[in-house]
Amino acid sequence: MIRLYLNSRSSSITSLLLLAVSLFSPGLAAEVPLRTFTASYDLHQSGKHIAVAQLSLQGSDEFWRWRMTTKARGIYALFTSKSLYSETSFMQNNNDIQLQQIVVSDSTDKEKHESANFDWKGGSIAVLRRGKQKQLPLDAEVYDYNSIHLLTAAMYLRQLKHTTVDFYRKGRLVKSKVVYSGEEIIDVNGDAIDALAYEQLIVGSNSKIKYYYEADNPLLPLRIEKLESDESPTTLSLREVNWDL
C-alpha cells in the first residue's frame, strides 16, 4: 500500500523524453505514459465526510479502462444504499486517444443508466440516456469526467497553459476549457505535497472543477474540488493508492 508519492529521477527523465516526442504528435493525449493503479478517496461536502470513492485505471497495450465508484459512508449509509458507478474505456495509439464507451449508472435508479458508444469509423456517438436514444457527431478527441486526467497529464508533458476540448456531459458534447493555474502546496494524509493545479470550466455547468496532481504521477489526482459560488466546495481527497507492478 503506497501513500506517499516520492520523486523519481527515472520518471522525470522519461517525462522529458515523452515531452520531446509529444510535441510532434497530432493527438493531445496520445503520448501520455499509462500505468495501472487503484486509488481510494474520501468525499467531503460542507465539511462532512459523506462518502468513499475508488478510482482505477486498468488495461494493457492499446485498450484501457477508467472506473469510478462512490458509496455513502457512516450515518449517511443508513439513509441511502445508493452506489454510483462510471466507466470509461479508451484506445491509445501513436496518433490519438479514442474513447470507446462511457457507462454511468445508479444502483437505486435504473432510469438513470446512461451509455455512450463511440464509432470512430462512422463518426458518431450512440447515446442512451434516461431511456432515450440519439446520435451525436464525432470528429475530434472527446474527454469526460474520468478521461480528463489524460488531458491534464498531456498538458503537463507539453507545458500547455490552457486548452479547449470537446467534453461529454449528460448525453451531450459541449466545449470545456482547462487552464493550468500553477503550483500549490496541499495536504495529503498529513504530508505537504507540491501539486500541479488545473481548473476546468464546462459549457452549461455553473461549477468550476479544480484538479491537483503530483508532477511524477500526473495521471493520479491527489484532490478534486467542485466549486460553486453559493455553496461549500465538494472535495474528493486521496487516501491511498496501489500501483500495480
Nearest to 227 by CA among 104, 76, 45, 56: 45
pLDDT of residue 25: 39
φ, ψ for residue 44, nearest 5 deg: -115, 140
The whole-angstrom distance between residue 192's C-alpha and the CA centroid of its chain comes to 23
The number of C-alpha atoms within 13 Å of 2 and in the hemisphere containing its C-beta is 13
pLDDT of residue 92: 86
Q: How far apart are CA 59 and CA 61, in angstroms?
A: 7
Q: How far apart are CA 52 and CA 150, in angstroms?
A: 23
pLDDT of residue 132: 93
pLDDT of residue 33: 86
Residue type, 79: F
- Mean pLDDT is highest, among 69-78, 111-120, 144-153, for 144-153
pLDDT of residue 95: 66
> Which domains are assigned to the chain?
9-243 (2.40.360)
H or E element, residue 18: helix 9-22
pLDDT of residue 42: 94
Mean pLDDT over the full length of the chain = 84
Tens digit of pLDDT for each residue in 34-82?
A: 999 999 999 998 888 889 999 999 998 889 999 999 988 754 443 444 6
Question: For residues 89 and 64, is the Cβ–Cβ distance under 8 A?
Answer: yes
Nearest to 75 by CA among 46, 107, 50: 50
pLDDT of residue 68: 95
pLDDT of residue 5: 35
- Collapsed DSSP state (helix, strand, coil) of residue 183: strand
Tell me which of 1-15, 172-186, 187-201, 214-228 is least confident.
Answer: 1-15
pLDDT of residue 231: 74
